[in-house]
C-alpha cells in the first residue's frame, strides 16, 4: 500500500529542522533519507529510530494511503475530544489493546512497558515509545508522576488455556510489581485486568488471590476504594464472547467508588462472525494465515460450520481423540475444535491460537482465521497494523490483548465519573461519546 511521510515533514517544519538535521539526529544514512523523501518503505528499525529521536508516535511519522477506506474503527462521534489530562503509566502493555482504548477515551500514556519482543515491536509501530526492560529491574524513581496506573499482568498462570499454576508460577506474582509502582506513585486511579480464572485461583495458604489484590490496594500508601467485575466483551460492542476481570481502584481521598458501565446497545448482527470477518480487499494482515498442522487440518476438513470435533466421523479421528470419544463422561465431554457459525458470536481468541482449545477456525474455509480476522474479532481497527517476521507471534500478541473497544468503554466510564466528582480540571470537561461498531 502506498505510504506518505507528510506527518514527518510537518513535524520537521514545526521544529524548524532540515533533512540533514533529521539524518544526524536519528543516525541514519543519506540513502535512507532519500528513500523517505520518495515515499518508499524503510525498515521497522529505521522507523523506531525516527520515533525515538523525535519522541512522537508512529502516526506522526507516516500514514498508509489506501483507495479503500477501512470499515472498522473506534468511532468517537462528531465531537472534537480533548485530553482528559489523565497522565497514565501502562505496565504489561502488550501490543497496546488496553492503551489504545484508553487513548481513545482521552488518556495520555506517558510511560509504557513490556518485555515481550513482538508486543514491543507492535506497540512502537502503532502507538509510540515503550520501555522493553524487565519490570522488576525498573526503579520507581525512573517513572514519571501519574494520575492513572494500568496493567494487564500476565494471565497464563490463571488461564484455563494455560496450566493454572497461579502463584506457583513466577509470572503469577508479577501483580506485586503493579502494587510496588502504585505505592510509589499514588495515582488517582488504578486499573488492572486479567482472565476470569483470577477469581478462583488461591494462594498457598488457601485464601483467594483476588482478595489479596483488593487488600493490598485498600492498604496501599494512599489507599483505594476497590471494585471488580467479570465483564463479557460482547456486552460492550466486541464481537467475541470473551470474559475478563477488570479491577478498578479509586484513591480514597477522592471520595467515591467506581461503578462499572452497563452493557451498551448494539445491533446483534454487528456482533456476528459474518460481520466481523467481512473485510475489504487490501486490508493489512488479511493475507497472513498460520497454517494448521497436518493432523489439525484433517480434523478441520471434517467439521461442518457451527459444529466441533464431535461431528467428525469416528474413523477420521486421531487415536487420542478416539480415546476421549470412547469415554466422553470421563473426559467431561470437551467441546474441542469449535467452529463457530457465521450467525454466532465467536468464542475467546487465545494467544496460543490452537484450533483444539479456541474458536480460531474460519466458518466456511478450512483454515485458521487470518491475522486481520482475529484482530477484527478482538475489535482492533483496520489501521492498527500488526508487524514482525513471525506470523504466529502476531496471533499471540493479538490473543493476549485487551479488546480496545472494551478498554474504551471502561476508560470512558472512569473519565466520566472522575468529572462528575470534580476530580478533573475544568478545561478537560467535555462530553464523552460511547464507542460504536460501524
The b-or-e profile of 77-102 (16+ CB within 10 A means b, else e) is eeeeeeebebbbbbbbbbbbbbbbbb
Cell triple for residue 76? Answer: 468517537
Residues 7-12: contacts with CB within 8 Å, 24+ apart? 7/59, 7/60, 7/61, 7/62, 7/63, 8/36, 8/50, 8/60, 8/61, 8/62, 10/60, 11/54, 11/56, 11/60, 11/61
> Three-state secondary structure along 101-133?
HHHHCCCEEEEEECCCHHHHHHHHHHCCCCECC
List all residues 6 or more positions away from 39 whose beta carbon is below 8 Å from its beta carbon.
2, 3, 4, 5
Sign of CA dihedral 348, 353, 355, 360: positive
β-strand pairing of 243-251 with 224-232: antiparallel
Marked catalytic residue, from 26, 89, 155, 418:
155
Judge contact between 121 and 51, C-beta under 8 A.
no
Active site residue 423: no
- Give dist(CA 356, CA 308) in Å, integer: 9
- Give dist(CA 86, CA 146) in Å, integer: 8
Hey, which residues does 193 pair with through a beta bridge?
Answer: 246
Judge contact between 257 and 250, C-beta under 8 A.
yes
- Give dist(CA 91, CA 150) in Å, integer: 6
List all residues 6 or more positions away from 148 whose beta carbon is below 8 Å from its beta carbon.
86, 87, 88, 89, 107, 187, 188, 189, 190, 191, 414
Judge contact between 251 and 187, C-beta under 8 A.
yes
Distance of CA 74 to the CA centre of its chain: 14
First to last CA, the chain: 23
Judge contact between 340 and 277, C-beta under 8 A.
no
- Give dist(CA 109, CA 170) in Å, integer: 27
The cell 482492533 sits on which residue?
380
Would you name the residues annotated as active-site residues? 155
Amino acid at each position: 500500500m502506498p505510504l506518505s511521510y507528510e506527518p514527518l515533514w510537518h513535524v520537521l517544519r514545526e521544529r524548524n529542522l532540515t533533512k540533514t538535521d533529521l539524518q544526524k539526529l536519528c543516525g541514519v544514512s543519506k540513502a535512507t533519507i532519500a528513500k523517505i523523501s520518495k515515499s518508499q518503505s524503510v525498515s521497522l528499525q529505521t522507523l523506531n529510530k525516527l520515533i525515538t529521536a523525535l519522541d512522537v508516535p508512529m502516526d506522526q511519522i507516516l500514514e498508509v494511503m489506501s483507495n479503500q477506506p477501512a470499515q472498522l474503527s473506534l468511532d468517537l462521534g462528531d465531537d472534537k475530544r480533548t485530553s482528559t489530562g489523565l497522565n497514565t503509566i501502562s505496565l504489561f502493555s502488550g501490543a497496546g489493546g488496553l492503551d489504545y482504548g484508553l487513548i481513545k477515551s482521552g488518556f495520555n500514556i506517558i510511560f509504557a512497558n513490556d518485555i515481550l519482543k513482538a508486543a514491543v515491536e507492535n506497540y512502537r509501530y502503532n502507538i509510540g515509545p515503550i520501555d522493553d526492560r524487565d519490570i522488576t529491574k525498573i526503579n520507581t524513581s525512573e517513572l514519571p508522576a501519574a494520575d492513572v496506573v494500568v496493567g494487564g499482568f500476565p494471565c497464563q498462570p490463571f488461564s484455563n488455556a494455560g496450566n493454572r499454576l497461579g502463584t506457583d508460577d513466577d509470572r503469577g506474582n508479577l501483580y506485586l510489581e503493579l502494587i510496588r509502582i502504585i505505592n510509589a506513585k499514588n495515582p488517582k486511579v488504578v486499573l488492572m485486568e486479567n482472565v476470569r480464572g483470577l477469581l478462583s485461583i488461591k494462594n498457598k495458604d488457601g485464601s483467594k488471590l483476588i482478595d489479596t489484590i483488593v487488600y493490598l490496594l485498600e492498604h496501599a500508601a494512599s489507599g483505594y476504594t476497590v471494585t471488580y467485575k467479570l465483564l463479557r466483551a460482547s456486552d460492550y460492542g466486541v464481537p467475541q464472547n470473551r470474559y475478563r476481570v477488570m479491577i478498578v481502584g479509586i484513591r480514597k481521598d477522592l471520595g467515591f467508588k467506581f461503578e462499572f458501565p452497563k452493557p451498551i446497545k448494539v445491533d446483534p448482527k454487528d456482533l456476528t462472525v459474518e460481520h466481523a470477518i467481512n473485510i475489504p480487499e487490501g486490508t493489512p494482515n488479511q493475507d497472513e494465515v498460520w497454517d494448521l498442522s497436518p493432523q489439525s487440518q484433517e480434523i478441520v476438513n471434517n467439521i461442518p460450520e457451527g459444529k466441533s470435533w464431535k461431528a467428525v466421523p469416528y474413523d477420521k479421528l486421531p487415536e487420542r481423540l478416539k480415546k476421549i470419544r470412547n469415554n466422553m463422561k470421563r473426559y467431561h465431554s470437551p467441546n474441542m475444535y469449535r467452529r463457530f457459525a457465521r450467525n454466532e458470536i465467536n468464542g475467546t481468541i487465545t494467544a496460543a491460537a490452537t484450533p483444539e482449545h479456541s474458536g480460531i477456525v474460519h466458518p466456511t474455509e478450512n483454515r485458521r482465521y487470518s491475522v486481520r480476522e482475529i484482530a477484527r474479532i478482538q475489535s482492533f481497527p483496520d489501521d492498527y497494523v500488526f508487524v514482525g517476521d513471525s506470523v504466529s507471534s502476531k496471533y499471540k500478541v493479538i490473543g493476549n490483548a485487551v479488546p480496545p473497544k472494551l478498554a474504551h468503554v471502561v476508560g470512558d466510564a472512569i473519565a466520566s465519573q472522575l468529572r462528575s466528582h470534580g476530580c478533573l480540571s475544568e478545561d478537560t470537561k467535555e462530553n464523552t461519546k460511547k464507542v460504536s461498531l460501524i
